[in-house]
Amino acid sequence: MQISRRQFLGYGLGGAAGSLVGGLGFPSASLAADTIKAGVLLDLSGPLQLYGHVKAQCLELAADEINAKGGLLGKKIELVKYDTQSNNQLYGQYAQQLALKDRVAVVHGAITSAAREVARPVLARAKTLYIMNMINEGPEGACDRNMFTTGPTPQQLLNNLIPYMIKKHGKKVYILAADYIFGQLSAKWAERIAKENGGEVVGLDLFPMDVDKFGSTIGKIQAAKPDFVFNVFVGPAHAAFYGQWASAGMNKRIPMASHTIGDSGEQLRMPPDVSEGIVTVKNYFDELDTPASKAFIERFKKRFADYTYVGSLGVADYQGMLLWAEAVRKAGSVDRRKVIEAFESGIAIDGPSGRLASHPATHYCTMDMYLAEIQNSRFKVQESWKQVPPVSAGDDSCDVLKMSL
């Protein structure tokens, strides 16, 4: 549902969040021997529920489909879910409970890198496999042999997006980013890639995730006169930027690119003139015109009546569950070490976004990528690239295979 510009400027996207919670609660106490338990740590309430709700639905859909085909190793997958309430401290508490009390085989979860860095060391100490189904800041952000990441890295997102914007609009770029690990390192990669392609960064500003007023920043951008703006905004507070940018008339004057726009379907809630023309690169859009994507969206709509938009973050969970299941099948066991070794052997699945293959040395994934522009509140794919690796040649990323288990 679209909202008016007045409503959008008044409360950004936060007002839409309250309707998203429901049916995704606390874990069951079942200890049935005929199930394989998979833990879920996601923000199902609070500001980040805009992302967490659909991600949890995608995990449910994947588990249901695996179970309908006979399950894993002759057993059904049982999801054990905790609502982390957009509170990073709860990630540590619930991660420990999943590992030690619920004794799950794997944990899928975390939306921000800051939350990941609370849960990750807890699960590593408990020797419980961890999968983060998110876009991330790349291997330099977290090097952990116990963790796998199924979303794209900044290199996959930006190696084509930034050169495209430079070629189309000019060399001067102004960067805006969320002020935490993911935003900081994404901004760093955007600056590096811009310079490698003859670009010049004329401004860089970082914002805490609760900032929702950008008047002074817009003034700075006007003074810097960039050829385009690249942003890494995260969450409903930051989404207020787009309405303020349009109200200042800047959306008609300076092009915008972002690799986070649309992660919660916000392009559908923005007035069309606010989002029109924004360019992004992702590994998935609901609008992908492929048989696999169309079939997935139809299955999702049939399973969840509240469908509005899945997006790349939700698909990361769906495909992350399928990739983990493939590793379990290859390992013939849910034993953590054996499943890790199966991931590291180079497994792959074909999902809604295309082929997703594990990248052994980094524990990220090789995947198809798509560049799209928002036109009339929908993503229109302009270009695509097959099987893009998560790191660029010559990157000094850590090699997790050298780490002990």
Q: How far is CA 124 from the centre of its chain?
A: 22
Contact 315, 351 (CB under 8 A): yes
Tell me how far CA of residue 149 lies from CA of 18, 81, 160, 262, 360, in angstroms: 29, 19, 21, 20, 11
Tell me how far CA of residue 302 lies from CA of 56, 295, 298, 306, 311, in angstroms: 16, 11, 6, 10, 17
Which DSSP state fits 68?
A: H
Residue 298, pLDDT score: 98
Low-confidence residues of the chain: pLDDT under 50 = 1-32
Residue bearing tokens 């509240």 = 306
Contact 147, 198 (CB under 8 A): no
Q: Could you give the CA distance from residue 217 to residue 132 in angstroms, rounded to a whole number?
A: 32
Q: Could you give the CA distance from residue 361 to residue 400 in angstroms, rounded to a whole number?
A: 6
H helices of 248-385, where?
A: 266-269, 272-275, 291-303, 311-331, 336-343
Contact 47, 17 (CB under 8 A): yes
Residue 63, pLDDT score: 98
* Strands of the sheet with 76-83, listed across from one edge: 76-83, 35-42, 106-109, 129-132, 147-149
H helices of 45-111, where?
A: 49-68, 88-100
pTM higher than the cut 0.85: yes
Burial of 235 per CB tally in 10 Å (0-12, 13-18, 19+): buried
Residue 141, pLDDT score: 63
Residue 402, pLDDT score: 81
